[in-house]
Structure 1
Amino acid sequence: MRPAGSGFVWRPPTSVPHIDEAGISLVTRGGTVESHAPSSPVVNDLDQLQNSLGEGPCLDSIWEEQRIVVDDMGAAQDRWPRYASAAAERGIGSLMSFQLFAERGSAGALNLYSSRSHVFDQGTADVGRLFAAQAALVLHGAQRIQGLHVALESRDVIGQAKGVLMERFGTGQARAFAMLVESSQHTNMKLATVAEWIVTETERKGTGG
C-alpha cells in the first residue's frame, strides 16, 4: 500500500498465519503517531485511539520496548486499562508490535493483530521480525515521506520528560506520556517542544538558575 504522495510502498503481512490485521505506526514531526499502510480502517482507528488515550502497546513499542506481545487483549487492562478494553471491543484478541528504526531520525512500530487470543508462537514472532526488517528497509529508502521523520534527540527528550513527570507526580509511564500529549494539545505546541521545555526547566531549577 502507498500513502498518497509519500513514495512509501509496503504490503501488510496479513498472509502470515493467525494475522488478521496489520499496519505501521509512525511518528510525525509533531510527535503524534499516524497509521500507515493499514490493512483495514480498524488499524487506523486503533492508532488514533492510542493517540487520544496516551496509552497502548504500539506507543510503548515505539518509545520503550523493541517487541511487545499481548497474548490476550482482554486480560491486558492492568497495563493499558482504557486501550485494552476498547481494542477487545473492536475484535482484537492478541497483538505483536515491533519497534522500527529505519534510519537516524525515524521512529515507529510494525503492529500485527489477531482476532483470537494466545495464537502467537515463536514461529510467528520470527516471521514478524522479518517483516519488521523489511518495513524498516522500505522506510530507509523513502527519504521524502512527509511527516514521518522525528529526530532521535526528540525521542530521547520525550523519554527524559516522562521520567521527570513520573518522579514528580508518582505516576506510571503511560500516564506520564498522556500528560505530555495533553499538554501538547492544550498549548498547541509540538510534543517534543513541550518535553524539551519540561527537561530544560527541571535542569534550570536543579542548578539554581
Structure 2
Amino acid sequence: MEEQPATELGQRLVKALGDAARGLSARSSGGPEQVLELIVAGAVQTVPGAEQAGVLLLARDGTVTSHAPSDEMVARIDRLQAQHQQGPCVTALWEQHTVTVDDLAGETTRWPVFAPEALASGVVSTLSFQLFTSEDTLGALNLYSGRRAGFDERSQMLGSLFASHAAQALGRAQETEQLHQALLTRDVIGQAKGILMERFGLGDDAAFAMLVRSSQDTNVKLVDVARWLTTEGKSRHEPPDPAISTATT
C-alpha cells in the first residue's frame, strides 16, 4: 500500500477525530457509564485496526473494574485483567502510558493468565491508552485486534488523540454526576431536618445536630440516616431511632 503524504494523513486524522469528538459531545449528557459506552463504540469506529474495545477504571482503593465492553469476549478478558492485575490495560493504568502489543503469543511469561486466555479468544494484538486521571479515578482504554501487529502508527496517533477527547467527555460526565449526587444529598438532608424541626419543634441548627449525633452514635453515614428518616421514619409517630430521640438530651 502506497504511503500517504503527511499532510493528507493529517487531514484524515483531524477529520476522523473531529467526527468522533462531535459524537461524544453531542451525546455526553448522560451519566459516566453511558459516556464510557460511547467512548468504546467511537474508538472501534475511529481507530484503525480496532475490532473490539473496553475500559478499565482503577479506584483510589486499588479496585479495578471493567466497563462498557464491546462484547462478552472483551468483558471476560477484561475481568481477568482486573481480577489478576495483569495485562496491557492494567499496565497502562499503573504506568500511565500507551502500551502496544503486536503479538500476545510473546507475552505469556509477562501476563501468564491474560495472554493465553486472550489468544484463545481470538485476540492477537492490543493497544491501550491512559484514559482519565482525577483525584479518585484512573482509567485506560483497551483496543483489541485479531491480527498480528493490528495497530500501526496511525492507530497510535489517532487513538491517543481520541483518548484525550474521550477523557474530557468522561470527566464532564463524572463532574455532572457528582454535582447531581451532591444536590440530592443536600435535598434529602434538608427534608430530614424539616421532619425533625416539625416533630420536635427545633430550629435548623439543632435539627442538623440531631442528625449528626445520630450518625455518630449509629456509625451510619449522615446521608443514610437522613434518607432512612425521609423514607421510613416520616410515616411513624414515634422518633425514628433511639439515637435521634436522645440527641437533645
- Same fold by TM-score, threshold 0.5 exceeded? yes
From the superposition, tell whether residues 139 and 70 of structure 1 become closer, same or farther in structure 2 (CA, over 3 Å). same
Distance (Å, rounded) in 2 between the aligned partners of 1:55 and 1:7: 23
Percent same amino acid at aligned positions?
A: 41
Q: Quote the residue 2:74 is aligned against.
A: 43
Q: Aligned partner of 1:55: which letter?
A: Q
Shift of the alpha carbon at 1:31? 2.1
Distance (Å, rounded) in 1 between the aligned partners of 2:33 and 2:96: 28
| Between structures 1 and 2, the one with greater helix share | 2
Question: Greater relative contact order (Cα 8 A, min sep 6): structure 1 or 2?
Answer: 1
Give the 3-state SS of the residue equivalent to 2:44 in structure 1. Answer: coil
Q: Quote the residue 1:130 is aligned against.
A: 161
| 2:141 corresponds to 1:110 | yes
Trace 1:15-164 onto structure 2 (pairs within 5 A): 15=45, 16-28=47-59, 30-142=61-173, 143=175
Structure 2: gaps of 5 or more residues: 1-26, 179-249
Residue pair 1:33, 1:47 contacting (<8 A) in 2 also = no
Shift of the alpha carbon at 1:76? 1.1
Distance (Å, rounded) in 1 between the aligned partners of 2:105 and 2:121: 11
Distance (Å, rounded) in 1 between the aligned partners of 2:39 and 2:85: 27
Residue pair 1:8, 1:138 contacting (<8 A) in 2 also = no
Shift of the alpha carbon at 1:18? 1.5
Q: Quote the residue 1:163 is aligned against.
A: none
Q: Quote the residue 1:154 is aligned against.
A: none
Q: Aligned partner of 2:127: which letter?
A: M
- TM-score calculated relative to the size of structure 1: 0.62
Task: Please report the RMSD computed on the Cα atoms of aligned residues, expressed in angstroms.
Answer: 2.3
Distance (Å, rounded) in 1 between the aligned partners of 2:68 and 2:113: 25
Shift of the alpha carbon at 1:14? 1.3
Query: How many pairs are equivalent?
Result: 145
Larger Rg: 2
Task: Provide, for residues 102-135 of structure 1, a one-character-per-residue CA deviation record: whole Å limited to 9, x for no partner.
Answer: 4333201011110111121110101110121122
Moved over 6 A (4+): none
